[in-house]
Structure formats: structure tokens, C-alpha cells
């Protein structure tokens, strides 16, 4: 181990030791660069009931914030410019397994240049809409959110991004992810994104969109897309939220007789060497509008409560409609420790098959079509998040 690598390892261990003592990992500097170790644990007890009569009782990971460990850093290189990076790995805290056994850093792995004109990044990155979750509803668009039940494109490989500074209240963002799997590959389609966010005092409004043309090998001239409009208002003791999604990124999964009507997505929500995971015909010809309203209220400096209602409307008239609601509370026990309790319901029409989803996909969920399609699923979750 050379001296530079050894110094980084020792500094990271020192940061971990300081975090254990002070409940917060401390940044450290080496060679003019600032490094930070980030980690959190989110574990909960999940009680779910399907109107089919099926019950699920389980200890799960990632209702509010996927358990993870990450490393980030920044080093000034010129006046007003610096190099940045982020490496982040999801962990199933229940089993100790990697969230994705095929990746060392499944959540993010990018490097970027920060300038006075904005940030330029390249690598595996979160989508623009993914990290705007706390703009969407009181759950921060996690477990209990009807929009989250539909599915949210989260991150893609080989992604080039530009994020502007905020100017007169506006922030702009663009991405393009290359999705080819071979040298000179021309059959796979890339994933493009655009977003704008406007903030003015207590008001915020914005848009984030994702789209991709079907690869030429699909034999279909189809664009799969996910467009999200959102707005919120901070009234002092809490926020009011409204959000709308228009998308055709939902698909059937499985084989007869165990076909889930809304079990997947043609355009992968978490990326990979190829963005498309299912034929467009498996769902991309069905279009949805999702409407959701939400509000929260801070009862005390430590306790926040909230609720939401949402509806998924199948505008292609195939009957894949659903509605849902949730109420919950979040209590800050300590600076870095939060307890939460949720009660949530998703009611599927006869031809719909939506299931609850958290910050992480539920490791244990209803998987039989008879327990999902056309059923109402009720859940109660009790858990905690610890950041260090």
C-alpha cells in the first residue's frame, strides 16, 4: 500500500471513529481535497394485508431512505473551479447483502467539474426527478406515495449531466445517458432528461422529464417517457404539495398464470448496460395520468405529521386504474435519529396490479398475481432512520 492510499484509508478510519463518538462522520482533508464518508440505516417492521386474504409480516430495509454507505470528495483546481466525485453503495441492512451484487457502487459513481457556470458530471447518477423527492409530498416520495407506487426512474449508467447555478430563482438541469453495450453499438437508445426548478420564498414549482426512443431492435417507433410537474408551498408550520405525472413507463411482468398487470417498466428505473428491460408492447402502449395532493404539519420541533391522496388513471381505457392514500408521522429522537410510522392503502381496479414501494423496492412483497391484481393492499410500517 503506497503512502497516499494509506493516508486516505487512515483518514477514513479516523472519520469513522469520530462519527462513532459524535454521531456524525467528520470530513477530512488530504492534499488539498476534502473527503467525506456518508452512511445511513433505515430498517422497519412491515405489516401488509391484501384483500385476497394474504398477509405479510416482515422486517425490511429502506422505507424512507435506502440503507447505504458512500464516499464523496471535492478538490479546488483553479479559481472558482473544483473536481468532485461521489461513490455510493446500497446495503440491505436486514441481510447485510449489497443492494446490487453485480456492482461495487450501485447507487452513484460519478466525477464532475464544478464551475461558476454550473456543474458538469459523468458516470452513474441519480435522475433529476429522483432527488427532487422532498418537493413532491410529505413522504419525500417514498413509502406511502402513490406516485412512488407507479415507479420513478432513479439512475442511469454512462450519464452526462449539466446542472446550472440558481439564477433569479431558476435552476436548470440536463442529462444524456449512453446505453450501448458494445463498441460501435447503434441499436440501443440513450436516455435523455430535462428539468427546471423555480424557487421564490415559500413557493416552489418545477418540471422534470425523462424519455428514450425504443431501440431499433424493438421494431417499434415508440418513445417511453416520464414527465413530472410539481409545486409546493411552505406555510410556516409545514408544506402543501401538488404533483402530476404523465407516463407510459409501466409494464406487465411474469408468465401465465402469474402475470402482474403493473409489475415492471419497459425503460429500466435503475439503468444498466442497456436501458430497456421489456418490450414496449408489454406496457408502453398504455398511457397514465397520476394526480396527487399532500400536506404536512410540524406539531412540535421534533414531530412532523402528514397525509396524501393520489390517483392513477389509465387514459388508454384498459382499466388499469388505482387510487391510494397514506398518513404518517416522523419524530426526530436525536439529531441523526428519526422514528416513523405509516399507514398506507393502494386500491387496484380489476385490471390493475400496483404494489407498495419504498425508497428501496420492498425486499419482501406480494408476488402472486392473485394477491395483487385487482386487490386492495393495506400496510402499516414502523421504523427508524439513523444517519452517521
Q: Supply the pLDDT for residue 188.
A: 57
Distances (CA, A) of 240 to 32, 230, 249, 291, 374: 43, 11, 27, 14, 31
Q: If you average pLDDT over every residue of the chain, what do you get?
A: 88
In 3D, which of 130, 43, 38, 40 has the Cα closest to residue 362?
43
Tell me how far apart the alpha carbons of residues 372 and 347 are, in angstroms, rounded to a whole number: 10
Q: CA torsion angle for 309, 315, 320, 323 (degrees, to 10)?
A: 10
Residue 29 is predicted with a pLDDT of: 74
- Tell me, what's the pLDDT at 219? 65
- pTM for the full model? 0.89
Domains of the chain with CATH codes: 1-31 (no CATH), 38-387 (2.40.160.10)
Q: Which residue ranges in the chain fall short of pLDDT 70? A: 1-25, 31, 180-189, 215-219, 272-283
pLDDT digits (tens, 9 = 90+) for 43-66: 999 999 999 999 999 999 999 999
Residues 6+ apart with CB under 8 A from 47: 55, 56, 57, 379, 380, 381
Residue 168, Cα to own-chain centre: how many angstroms? 28
CB-based burial label for 207 (10 Å; 0-12, 13-18, 19+): middle
What's the confidence (pLDDT) of residue 281?
61
Per residue in 208-234, pLDDT tens? Answer: 999 988 766 666 778 899 999 999 999
Which pLDDT value is given to residue 13?
Answer: 45
User: pLDDT value at position 24?
Assistant: 57
Residue 16: what pLDDT?
Answer: 45
Amino acid at each position: 500500500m503506497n503512502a497516499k492510499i494509506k493516508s486516505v484509508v487512515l483518514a477514513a478510519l479516523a472519520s469513522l471513529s469520530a462519527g462513532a463518538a459524535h454521531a456524525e462522520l467528520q470530513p477530512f482533508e488530504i492534499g488539498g481535497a476534502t473527503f467525506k464518508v456518508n452512511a445511513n440505516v433505515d430498517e422497519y417492521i412491515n405489516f401488509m394485508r391484501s384483500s385476497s386474504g394474504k398477509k405479510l409480516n416482515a422486517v425490511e430495509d429502506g422505507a424512507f431512505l435506502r440503507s447505504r454507505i458512500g464516499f464523496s470528495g471535492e478538490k479546488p483546481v483553479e479559481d472558482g473551479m473544483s473536481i468532485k466525485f461521489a461513490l455510493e453503495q446500497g446495503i440491505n441492512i436486514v441481510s447485510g447483502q449489497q443492494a446490487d451484487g453485480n456492482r461495487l457502487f450501485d447507487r452513484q459513481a460519478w466525477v464532475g467539474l464544478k464551475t461558476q457556470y454550473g456543474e458538469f458530471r459523468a458516470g452513474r447518477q441519480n435522475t433529476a426527478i429522483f432527488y427532487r423527492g422532498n418537493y413532491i409530498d410529505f413522504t419525500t416520495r417514498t413509502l406511502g406515495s402513490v406516485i412512488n407506487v407507479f415507479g420513478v426512474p432513479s439512475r442511469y449508467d454512462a450519464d452526462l449531466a449539466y446542472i446550472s447555478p440558481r439564477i433569479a430563482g431558476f435552476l436548470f438541469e440536463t442529462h444524456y445517458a449512453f446505453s450501448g453495450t458494445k463498441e460501435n453499438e447503434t441499436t440501443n437508445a440513450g436516455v435523455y432528461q430535462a428539468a427546471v426548478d423555480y424557487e421564490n420564498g415559500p413557493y416552489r414549482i418545477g418540471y422534470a422529464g425523462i424519455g428514450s426512443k425504443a431501440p431499433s431492435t424493438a421494431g417499434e417507433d415508440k418513445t417511453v417517457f416520464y414527465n413530472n410537474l410539481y409545486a409546493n408551498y411552505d406555510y410556516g408550520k409545514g408544506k402543501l404539495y401538488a404533483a402530476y405525472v404523465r407516463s407510459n413507463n409501466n409494464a406487465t411482468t411474469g408468465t401465465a398464470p402469474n402475470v402482474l398487470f403493473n409489475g415492471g417498466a419497459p425503460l429500466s428505473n435503475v439503468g444498466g448496460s442497456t436501458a430497456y428491460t421489456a418490450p414496449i408492447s408489454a406496457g408502453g402502449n398504455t398511457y397514465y395520468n397520476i394526480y396527487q395532493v399532500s400536506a404536512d404539519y410540524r406539531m412540535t420541533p421534533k414531530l412532523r405529521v402528514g397525509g396524501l391522496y393520489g390517483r392513477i388513471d389509465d387514459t388508454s381505457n384498459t382499466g388499469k386504474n388505482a387510487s391510494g392514500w397514506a398518513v404518517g408521522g416522523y419524530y426526530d429522537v436525536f439529531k441523526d435519529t428519526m422514528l416513523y410510522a405509516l399507514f398506507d392503502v393502494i386500491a387496484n381496479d380489476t385490471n390493475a396490479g400496483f404494489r407498495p414501494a419504498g425508497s428501496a423496492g420492498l425486499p419482501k412483497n406480494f408476488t402472486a398475481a392473485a394477491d395483487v391484481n385487482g386487490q386492495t393492499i393495506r400496510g402499516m410500517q414502523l421504523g427508524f432512520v439513523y444517519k452517521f
